[in-house]
Structure 1
Amino acid sequence: MRQRLKVLSVLLSCILLSACNTATYKLEESLLKVHVPKNWENHVQLEDVKNGWLMQISNDQIQSLVQTALNNNFTLKQQAYSLQMKKQELIISGNTLWPSLDLALSSNRRKNISPNSYINNVSVDLNIKYEIDLWGKLSDFDKQANLSYLSDQANFEQGKQQLVADVVIAWFKVIEAKQLTNLYQQRADNTKQNLDIIESGYQQGLNSALDVYLSRNELNSELSRAAEQKATKIEAIRTLELLLGNYPQGALSIEASLPLLSSDIPKGLPSGLIARKPKLVASWYQLLAKDASLAYAHKQRFPSISLMASVGNSASELSDVVSISALGWSLLGNLTMPIFNAGKLEANEEKSRLLLKQSEQGYLETLHNAFLDVENAVTLESSLKQRYQMMLAAQENAIAAQRLSFENYHNGLVDYTTVLDAQSRSFDAQSTLIQIKSQLIRNRIELHIALGGDFSASEQNKEAK
């Protein structure tokens, strides 16, 4: 008997030592040596990124609309509820580190073989079970849940920032659509005035019938564009209303103009983006959670030790059961180790390892896409500013050419097709100028999001709503 116990002890020691010496997977070296440029391409920026970009828009309406969206947006509310559920899952996962305590009360009555004889039995048991976290397996499971919660929390913060950006962009989109609608209607009114002049000249024999037909065709085209643009404006308003959590009835009134952005914003350094942008933080936490999941899957193959204790008694009467003097107790230690499961645990570990490798590549992709967004936004801003200056000069020339062409036509120096061409160039220049200003604003907001700048500098607004 002693020899058997000695062999069993040696076998158990070998198992425990092999479990302790088994190495877990380490993160790829490329994650620790990611090439991060010292500065953005062709841009020297030493000043850190500043938060509170929303406050730079000095308009009370947009400040109110943003707050309404943060309180009422349907998608953000879903994300908030999802985050709350993750928090409850975190409590559930932490439960494995604590002992479980159960109270069992049972009562039964059965008839004996002899007639009119019954046996009553009442039992009360208090059971305690606790698994010793010998290898840190339960800690890894809890660590995975904590990291997953931190990842979801960062994603929720990113969702808030994106919502604010979407609301502000949609607000400026309505302003753009409104200005284009006014421009289209103004052009239609000008075309109507030209038509009246041409028809009057035709009745006096000064203009040809072709000029009348061309002018009428131009008027119908402009009226059609104006009607289409009005529909576009209403659609833009409805999009904004939906972001606010309101019914999209297209009745929101906005009185504002498109500002011209001429100043630059501090872009910080690329290395600061990694810790500042919530989307990157979420991706990193998710990667660490996969690493903890792999450690948990690996330690599932180790022996587990649990302790069980029970205090209770059984008797025919409840008063006898709860008597302290009659209580009995038991204590049991349990050691279990998987021996054969057709490769299930090994396959689970390999699956977790592959998921970790996949997450590594996902994080690298997210990181480089974040750099890409910043570089593209910076390049586009520079291009838009140049285009605006050139189009501003083009607009002045086109308006002057339009006015001069109609005067020359009225004096019989040019035909009406020249007038139509000048009007088209003038209209294109004016509408393009409005669109470029809107693109500059949109790109600036997207650059703030790409840089990880928070919309508010207040710590209160950083709390999950």
Structure 2
Amino acid sequence: MRIPPPLFISITVSLAALSCGGAPDVKLPPVDWEESASRGSDAFAGETPVSGTWWLAFESPALDTLIRAALVRNHDLRAAAARVEQAKAEARAAGAALWPQLNGGLAASRSRSVIIGIPIPGAVSPITAYSNRFSLSADAAWEIDLWGRIRSAKSSSLARFEGSQVDLAAARLSLAATTARLWFALSEAEMQRTLAEETVASYSSSADRIRRRYQLGVRSPLDLRLAESNLASAEALLAAREDQRDALAVSLQQVIGAYPDASFRGAADLPSPGEPVPAGLPSDLLLRRPDVVSAERAVAAARAQASVARRALLPSISLTGSGGTLSDQFADLLDGDFSVWSIAGGILQPLFQGGRLRANVALADAVHDQSLAAYLATALGAFGEVELALRAEPRAAIQVRSLMKAAHEAEAAKRLAENQYDNGLIDYITLLESQRAALNARSQAITARRAALDARLDLVVALGGGFDSARDDFEDFLAVEVTE
């Protein structure tokens, strides 16, 4: 599938038309997909929305439980959620500057003064006087956002907040995919361990038969030694499989926030990858991938911040006002006869700051250019990931079918070799080769089944979610309810 070059030109043009009223709204262009000859009807053509609970397609209650536990208990995800709250608070703080600032005050003071040099008949010099001062005031200040500098700062903060929300969605998607991947790997390890255990039992039985026949003089010492060596290798393989299972169990427990005691056990069998990939997948990939949307929000934030830097070159207009009462008696503070007030306005125009303001403009423009380049690179990477994932799906299915057939034939060949060896028609080396071939074929078939599940997970992540028509888009993933 070839990505048309005009797509990236239209993306650039759309990003140059950012709005600065609220959070900058960057409208992503529709994606002009070209039909891929290699995919035929499986190319991007339809509008099948992605799913918020895509893992349910695997029909594994255990996997559903694990993912929901991870979404609640994972500490990295909690940190991402805290960053969303941090960005939300920053956006609220940035928007507060649009409103007048109002403060109330109550003050009291008592002073002692000395009067010197004023002749007062009968008075003893110096003269000491005491005075009280009480005030009740309300002070207001407001910077009139005539040029939109404060609104642009608010827009930038809102874009960063929206980006943090999308980052949280991406973290949830990644965590769910990681949990599923570990669960499938653990289930594969459990199946490989079971296969190794069955192999040890089979080789042990075979070695016992050969040992008895050797004692009767029917079999040669070579057959016995080869059988004992084969059994020892199978026992070593079983121990290695158990180590792999325990390591994966610990990793899975750490991801879901459980104590890592390696007590988890995988499923006895791997699930199927689910329904085939629909003929029509979302053509608006850029609107669904959390990382792409996050990169777009970064461009919007940088664009608004560049506007802030430019408008800092313009004059700032401020109004201040104060009103209240002033008296030397506390009881008079609520008496209107003692009221005082003041009002003032001012314009402040930067004249010379050593080039700092213009340097800030150049810096903001460079950050915007950097974020735009990063966005285009992220979009291109997203297309590439989907392309590879779409091609990996059918190939993984072919590998599963082929290796399952190979395992079936190798197992049948092993049984035939065992019968022929028992009847003295073949030597033990031929039997040994057939046993090892059957073990390897069955092991490879199990690995291929897990690889097919990983291929489906790669496609899910590349699309920003699943492709269940019951869901709208990846934002539903944020709304998945989880409980302890």
Greater shift, 159-168 or 358-367, is seen at: 159-168
Q: Aligned-pair RMSD on alpha carbons? A: 2.6
**Pair 1:42-2:54 in alignment:** no
Quick one: distance in 1 between partners of 2:55 and 2:293?
22
Quick one: distance in 2 between partners of 1:455 and 1:104?
60
Q: Which residue is equivalent to 1:297? A: 309
Assess, with a 3 A threshold, how the Cα gap between structure 1 residues 37 and 97 changes in structure 2: closer, same or farther: same
Q: Which amino acid aligns with 1:293?
A: Q
* Structure 1 position 303, deviation (Å): 0.8
Question: 3-state DSSP class of the match of 1:131?
Answer: strand
**Pair 1:56-2:92 in alignment:** no
Assess, with a 3 A threshold, how the Cα gap between structure 1 residues 454 and 437 changes in structure 2: closer, same or farther: closer
Q: Which residue is equivalent to 1:237? A: 249
* Structure 1 position 442, deviation (Å): 1.7
Question: 3-state DSSP class of the match of 2:261?
Answer: coil
Cα pair 2:189 2:266 within 8 Å, conserved: no
* Structure 1 position 264, deviation (Å): 1.9
- Normalising by structure 1, we get a TM-score of 0.87
- Structure 1 or 2: more helix by fraction: 1
Question: 3-state DSSP class of the match of 1:97?
Answer: coil
Assess, with a 3 A threshold, how the Cα gap between structure 1 residues 260 and 103 changes in structure 2: closer, same or farther: closer
Match of 1:149 among 137, 154, 161: 161
Q: Which amino acid aligns with 1:95?
A: A
Assess, with a 3 A threshold, how the Cα gap between structure 1 residues 393 and 58 changes in structure 2: closer, same or farther: closer
Assess, with a 3 A threshold, how the Cα gap between structure 1 residues 100 and 464 changes in structure 2: closer, same or farther: farther
Quick one: distance in 2 between partners of 1:355 and 1:219?
64
Quick one: distance in 2 between partners of 1:260 and 1:348?
56
Q: Which amino acid aligns with 2:208?
A: D
Quick one: distance in 1 between partners of 2:96 and 2:274?
56
5 Å matches for 1:116-155?
Answer: 116-155=128-167
5 Å matches for 1:337-376?
Answer: 337-376=349-388
Deviations 1:409-460 (A, max 9, x none): 4444443333222222111110110111111112112212211235885687
Assess, with a 3 A threshold, how the Cα gap between structure 1 residues 464 and 412 changes in structure 2: closer, same or farther: closer
Q: Which residue is equivalent to 2:7? A: none
Q: Which amino acid aligns with 2:382?
A: A
Quick one: distance in 1 between partners of 2:37 and 2:321?
66
**Pair 1:265-2:277 in alignment:** yes
Question: 3-state DSSP class of the match of 1:245?
Answer: coil
Q: Which residue is equivalent to 1:22? A: none
Deviations 1:170-190 (A, max 9, x none): 222221111111001111111
Cα pair 2:190 2:267 within 8 Å, conserved: no
Match of 1:275 among 262, 266, 287: 287
**Pair 1:416-2:428 in alignment:** yes
Greater shift, 143-152 or 448-457, is seen at: 448-457
Q: Which residue is equivalent to 1:204? A: 216
Percent of residue pairs bearing the same amino acid type: 28
Question: 3-state DSSP class of the match of 2:138?
Answer: strand
Question: 3-state DSSP class of the match of 2:284?
Answer: helix
Gaps of at least 5 residues in structure 1 are 1-26
Quick one: distance in 2 between partners of 1:129 and 1:444?
59
* Structure 1 position 314, deviation (Å): 3.2
Greater shift, 260-269 or 425-434, is seen at: 260-269
Assess, with a 3 A threshold, how the Cα gap between structure 1 residues 362 and 267 changes in structure 2: closer, same or farther: farther
Q: Which amino acid aligns with 2:90?
A: E
* Structure 1 position 231, deviation (Å): 2.0
Q: Which amino acid aligns with 1:68?
A: A
Q: Which residue is equivalent to 2:230? A: 218
Q: Which residue is equivalent to 1:16? A: none
* Structure 1 position 262, deviation (Å): 7.5
**Pair 1:306-2:305 in alignment:** no
Q: Which residue is equivalent to 2:84? A: 83
Cα pair 1:313 1:321 within 8 Å, conserved: yes
Q: Which residue is equivalent to 2:23? A: none
Assess, with a 3 A threshold, how the Cα gap between structure 1 residues 41 and 321 changes in structure 2: closer, same or farther: farther
Deviations 1:360-410 (A, max 9, x none): 111111111111111111111121112222212221222223233334444
Quick one: distance in 2 between partners of 1:247 and 1:383?
38
* Structure 1 position 128, deviation (Å): 0.5
Gaps of at least 5 residues in structure 2 are 1-10, 16-27, 115-125
- Normalising by structure 2, we get a TM-score of 0.84
Greater shift, 207-216 or 436-445, is seen at: 207-216
Quick one: distance in 2 between partners of 1:282 and 1:40?
28
Q: Which amino acid aligns with 1:390?
A: S
Q: Which residue is equivalent to 1:385? A: 397
Q: Which residue is equivalent to 2:406? A: 394
Q: Which amino acid aligns with 2:78?
A: K
* Structure 1 position 317, deviation (Å): 2.2
| Equivalences, count | 440
Question: 3-state DSSP class of the match of 2:38?
Answer: coil
Cα pair 2:142 2:319 within 8 Å, conserved: yes
Q: Which residue is equivalent to 2:300? A: 288
Quick one: distance in 1 between partners of 2:91 and 2:190?
49
**Pair 1:463-2:475 in alignment:** no
Cα pair 2:186 2:248 within 8 Å, conserved: yes
Quick one: distance in 2 between partners of 1:63 and 1:39?
35
Cα pair 2:137 2:323 within 8 Å, conserved: yes
* Structure 1 position 277, deviation (Å): 2.1
* Structure 1 position 36, deviation (Å): 4.9
Assess, with a 3 A threshold, how the Cα gap between structure 1 residues 364 and 34 changes in structure 2: closer, same or farther: farther
Cα pair 1:157 1:464 within 8 Å, conserved: no
